[in-house]
Each structure stands twice: as C-alpha cells, then as structure tokens.
Structure 1
C-alpha cells in the first residue's frame, strides 16, 4: 500500500511524466478500438453478397471463362433456395468447362443440415436447389470448382469461384417450385425450350424486317435509275452514289438474314437436344447428380 502511495506521490510531483502516461494510455485504447473495428469489419465483409449478373473468374486458373449468378429465389415457408448460374461461353475449346468437370460445393456459416441438388440445364446453364434452409440463416457459400484435368495441377489447387448469399441479400422471396429434383429438372429444361422458341420468333421477326428493308431499297434504286435519265451530270453522280449506298444496305440486310437463319437452325438443334435430355430424365437413363450435404465454412476453406 505504501508503494502505491509513493508511486502516486511521485507522479504528482512529476507532471511531465504523468502527461506522457495519460497520452500513452489514450493511444493504447484508441489503437485497440481501431484494430477491433478492423477485425469485425473484415469478418462482416467476408460474407458480403455476391452481386447478380457479375462474372466471377475461377481463381488460380488460366481459364478465361467466368461464371455468374443470374437469379436467386427463396421461399421461407418451403425453406428452399433456387439459384441459377451461367458459365461464360468458351472462346477456346481446349479450356471449355464441361458439365461433368464443374463441381458445386455448399457451405454454411452456422452449423446447418442443408441438401443441394445441381441440375445441368445446358452446358452453360445450371440450376441449384438448396433445401432445409431456414429463414434465419446467416450466410451460405456456393463454391464452383473447375475440375477439368490439367497436367500441371493437383486436386488441391483446382480453380474455383465463390458465391456468397446472406439472409440480408435482395433475394426474390416467393413461393418456389416444390417439385422433386427430377420433375424440377424436366420443368427447367422445358422453360429453356420455351425460351429458345421465343428466340426463334425474334429471329424470324428480324428476317421479316430485313426483307422489307431490302424491298424498300430496291424500290428506291428503281426510282433513282428512272429519274437519272433526266438529270444533269452532277445530279447523276450523286444518284450513282446513292444507289451504291442502297446496294450496300441491301448486302448488309442479306447478311443479317443469313445470320438469323443460322441462329434459328442452332436454336432448333438445341431444342431437339433438350427434348432428348428431357425424355432421358423421365425414363431414368439420364441421372442427376446425387444430393450433396452442406459443410460449415471455416477459415481454412
């Protein structure tokens, strides 16, 4: 006790030392608060939602293909989340990611027993169905792993892209399909077929408009050629330039028609393959991936 009193008496007699001690304590407390805030803020940021329609690259790989989350629907009453992903079309066939080499892994922040089914609608479009997801879930992570075999790559360094969905996300909250994975797959494929049919109609409309433009250009050319007979040299020069421009427009519209016809052929071929997959799912010859259970997010994974 005497030591405490003598120490306090010493500080009272040495005001400069007392001032330094107060400043030191202030800096120590302030620094602690800043560090603590940074840690909390970094932890919160770690689980920020991945934005919709924003391509995420596969980290750790040279593949130029990205993947994006295009839709997320959640029903609290059904405890079901449906997320739709699209893989960017490959420009190099040697780096293309096939459905058989794209792995999906589900993890949660809090311990939860979730089940996930992945439905490959097309080679570039995937629907993920997550069940038993309670309304008060904190966050889930859907990790997409590119498991395409690479001679210089181990299984532990496979390229991956992470997508975070939290309960604060702007999720479309509505009643989602309560179908079984098989029936939902059939429905998802049917939706894709209908989407392709609408695209065929749009391409057909483009062809119709292009043909009408060609007919109008031909009428203009015929009129200009007829009027040219009664024009002076300078006017004829301008008319010839106009006719050349109109012929260029006709050529461009003909190219557009050819492109639309090719697109229609591709869409119809895709429809045929989708119908074939639909039939295979119905009769059981096409097997969906097995139900995957969730794991818990840790600092290591």
Structure 2
C-alpha cells in the first residue's frame, strides 16, 4: 500500500498529539498547517573521539598510531583538532493546534548536511610557505611492528612510499633507534555528514503581547558520514531547544541549541594511500596490506538559526 508523504506526516501528527494529551476528546477541530524552514547550523562544539584502529590483513600487527599533528609539530602521537565547516538543513512539515491544548506541536522531515574539517590553521607560521607541513596535518599512520614490516633497508624517497615518515633511510635493523617500519597511511580530511531526520517539536504559546516563545524538539533518522574516503550509514538522533520570534502571522525566526549524535563509531574497509606489498625471502614476514577498521566517534553541537514560513 502506498502512503503519500502528506498522509504520513498527518497521521504522525495525530499520533504525537494523542501521545501527549491522551485524555482529550477531539470533537473540536484540529488545525493543520504546512510549513517550510531553512536552518544554519553552527557546529562550534564537537565530541569527536580519539582516533583508533588497526589493519584488517591477517597477521599484520599495528604497534601504534602516529601522525604529524601534535603539540610539538612533529611526527608523534596523533591527536588532531577539528573545526566546523559548512552546515545547513531544510525541512518540510506540519504544525498542529487544538483549542483544548496550550501551545502547538510540529512534525517535520529534515535533510541536513555538515562538514567537520581538520584544523590546520596556525599549524605553520602565516609567512611559512611549507605546504608539505600543512598537508602532513591530514596524514595518519598505522605503524606496524618490526616483525611484520620486513627486514629490507628502505629507500623511502625512491620506491617505498609506504614506509613511515619517521623513517631514516640510513637506519640499520640492528640499531634500536632505527624506524624503518611499514605504515598503513591514510589521509584524514575530516567528516562529511548527510542525514535524513524526522523531528517532533512542542512550541510554547505566546504570552500576552510577547512575540517570543520557547520550543523543544527531538529527532531520529539515518546519517551517511564520509571519513577517510569511506562512507558509513548509521542511525542518528538529535535534540533541540530554543526560542521562536514571530515576525509576521505566517513567519517566525528561531535561534537555539542543537546536539547531533551517531550510533556507533566504526569506519570499515578504509584503504591505504599506498599499498604495502607482501615480502619475500628475508622479508617474508611482511604482510600485504588490504584495508583497516578505524574507530572515531562523531557527535557535534552548537547554535542553529533560521526561518520558518507557514503556507
């Protein structure tokens, strides 16, 4: 049986209203009105988790995770910082009012897009033209242990781009300070999030001559987050609280706080920038690289603002 978008929202409104006020009879008319809204989302705060993961290749052992982004400005423990990029959404929904109910309810479908980028601002001096350093802020390595790296003395600059960037081509295998390891390299360019959400709101009624009234809302849906060149689908939820300002009988401006979170933290089948070849002979212990599984929690919060138009 086919159900139109309008029928779905209308039935959802009735169910929502009955949930909140189950003791009322609906002999009086219920007023439904359609609306459209556009949002700007300032995702100024994030709860992006610590970067973690390992290679999927059977036998390959990830000893530690390193990157160029750290407080000392050199290769070391990878702890990137992030900044908000473009973030916006549009919605289409229905508002519902009943004479016996104080305030009103809304139910809407929302499509949102947001970016979270690696924060490389100020990582090099403003007059420093060292673009290689700036590019390195995006690179992260799953550094293999010595046994699964192989024994070859590497020439990183000529033929082995899969060697860790801490490598010293002059290092000798018997030198405890030698760092000629194989590294599963990735490029962290942040997160791109596209989500479809179903939201429900309660709007407090206007008091007296005031044009300002608070609202609260919750929502759930499905998100597609791209990270490390792979995209994962997951369930997501969000919460909102703010105030509406009536600027015309059919128009409201709103500003509020929004929190968005994704269930799960895995990104599967991440591919390396450079394939690590299988070793032969003296290097037989080196496993060929395949993919990696990365764990990185994604949650954001911040200010949202926009315009609601009823028609």
State the TM-score, normalized to the length of structure 1: 0.24
Larger helix proportion of the pair: 1
Higher relative contact order (CA 8 A, sep 6+): 2
Specify the structure having the higher radius of gyration (Cα). Answer: 1
Larger strand proportion of the pair: 2
